[in-house]
Amino acid sequence: MPDMAQTDRLLIALAQLDPTVGDVDGNLGKARAARAQAAQLGADVVMFPELFLAGYPPEDLVLKPAFQQACRAACDVLARETADGGPSVLIGLPWFEDGQLTNAFVHLSEGRIDALRHKVDLPNYGVFDEKRVFAAGPMPGPIVIKGVRIGLPICEDIWTPDVVECLAETGSEIILVPNGSPYWRDKNDTRLNIAVARVTESGLPLVYLNQVGGQDELVFDGASFVLNANGALAVQMPAFREHLSLTEWTRGPDGWVCSVGERHLVEEGDQGDYAACMLGLRDYVNKNGFPGVVLGLSGGIDSAICAAMAVDALGADRVHAIMLPSRYTSKDSLEDAALCASALGIRYDTVPISDTVDAFEASLAPLFAGRKTDITEENLQSRTRGTILMAISNKFGPMVVTTGNKSEMSVGYATIYGDMNGGFNPIKDLYKMEVYRLSALRNSWKPEGALGPDGEVIPVRILTKAPSAELRDNQTDQDSLPPYEDLDAVLERLVEREWHVAEIIAEGFDGDMVRRIERLLHLAEYKRRQSAPGVKVTLRNFGRDRRYPIVNRFRDQGLPPYQPDQALRKTSTAANIMDMT
């Protein structure tokens, strides 16, 4: 039976931690360590994020019976350990019972599983796919901890009013929300507004506890917080790092109040994007067991910022830069790459590719006889570089970091099996102008927990010179692409906002340019489908967010948005249904 003894003081430890999907034993170990720390602080209960024992999101792994059973076994172990008189535990896991699999949250106390609640509202949009694997739970009532009625909506359950309204109507006194809420730009304001709405409607204080860490292309930023019933922020936990915070609650004449506690600054905007890219790369490399990374350092902006992010994420001793010069590589690029490597303190080697490219061209000469030199020979250089980087990866074990930005990946300005080679891309969701902004930012600021040096790490000339792939004489990106300021603006409207071509042209953009960009965006889908995963920072990334068909003949011709002709419609849908019955 739950402990019904009333109390006027409750100490809740919030464990904002970084689980690893599938590492049930490791996640259990993290939970044990956090519970021990909470016990030293005198906590009554320690709370963990959504699906913590499994890691989030587990995707189709959660359908494996062996995985479900491993999570339940870990839950049983942790439940038995609560018989020691220490803090009780609130923790999430997949729960299979009566033929249904749910996203569950349990209270473990006095050596047993004391209470169980299930997620009601399963998100099925953007990066989320929970209806594919979970069944929705019933509307919940509160559980009881030390005589306090606690409501436990799980993540998406607070994004609409119904679940919190049910919890308030059934007597909840405090709302505790475990979350697996991934980062994208300006997400913090959205979360806070949602939480304030639920507090205002229910009149109850609310804890928003979020996971932290990278999982494939998603980054969970933490940034957990506590709101009192009047909407005031009582506690703000840090972003992008693990943290345990003890919150103190007292019962007053108007209900429960959380004492004002830690108030950390949360990185947002460009700082948030950089911190997310760094954390996403760090966790991808470390959780997959790579000893370090290797990347081509060309003297250009994209490879320079990727090198800086890699050093910040992993430390200089785990980053290896390779300059791969051809006959078209400029003296400036050689100097800039060497200066960047020196500023970052990383190993830097040079592997010339001219002889290798010449050998490829000689081998192909009989087949290419009578054909003019074109993009084929340019791509041979890129593919030679990709092959060399992969050879180094195979020989010594580091993962290849690929360095293409979102502008290039959008329009296919990248060589498949060449500069697209690699295991992970930290800037995949950053447009070119954002890469420039974040590079300038990194020269004047460094995120909390970054392992790289302070100060200028990307030489100023890299920030100011015209970008070039240097695959032919006097080449610049703008020979093939519109100015990046225009390209990025059009792409943001096409990709993130799904605007009509006509709407973009109406904003003053050149019509031929917009139609060309829209065409290239669709043609490059087959390349993007084969590209390395990379950190999501925008509202809509290339990956889980945007699932376009490769075979796709639709093109937006720039006509005005269609307006249905109501005169052609004989009856309403409702009337049709009535006719059928």
Catalytic residue check, 146? no
Of the CA atoms within 13 Å of residue 407, those in its CB half-sphere come to: 21
> Can you tell me the distance from the alpha carbon of 509 to that of 553, in angstroms, rounded to the nearest whole number?
24
- Which residues, other chains included, contact 555 with Cβ-Cβ below 8 Å and sequence gap of 6+? 518, 519, 522
> Can you tell me the distance from the alpha carbon of 385 to that of 235, in angstroms, rounded to the nearest whole number?
50
SS3 202: helix
Catalytic residue check, 306? no
What are the Cα distances from residue 502, in Å, to 86, 499, 560? 64, 8, 6
Q: Which of 30, 71, 75, 155 is catalytic?
A: 155
Name the token pair of 193.
Answer: 């507004």
- Which residues, other chains included, contact 89 with Cβ-Cβ below 8 Å and sequence gap of 6+? 31, 35, 45, 46, 48, 78, 79, 82, 107, 108, 109
Catalytic residue check, 119? yes
Inter-residue contact 272 to 286 (CB < 8 Å): no
Residues 366, 367, 372, 376, CA torsion sign: negative
Q: Which of 30, 119, 406, 527 is catalytic?
A: 119
What are the Cα distances from residue 88, in Å, to 33, 42, 326? 14, 11, 63
> Can you tell me the distance from the alpha carbon of 58 to that of 47, in angstroms, rounded to the nearest whole number?
20
One-letter amino acid of 126? G
What are the Cα distances from residue 241, in Å, to 192, 223, 480? 19, 9, 41
Please, what is the end-to-end C-alpha distance for the chain in angstroms? 52
Name the token pair of 34.
Answer: 């956090």
Q: Which of 50, 156, 173, 378 is catalytic?
A: 50
Name the token pair of 530.
Answer: 């084969």
Residue 118, H or E segment? strand 112-118
Name the token pair of 361.
Answer: 């061209």
Name the token pair of 225.
Answer: 């917080």
Please choose, from the candidates 132, 175, 133, the residue with its C-alpha nearest in 3D space to the C-alpha of residue 155.
175
Look up residue 132 and give its DSSP letter: G
Please choose, from the candidates 133, 120, 117, the residue with its C-alpha nearest in 3D space to the C-alpha of residue 64.
133
Name the residues annotated as catalytic. Answer: 50, 119, 155
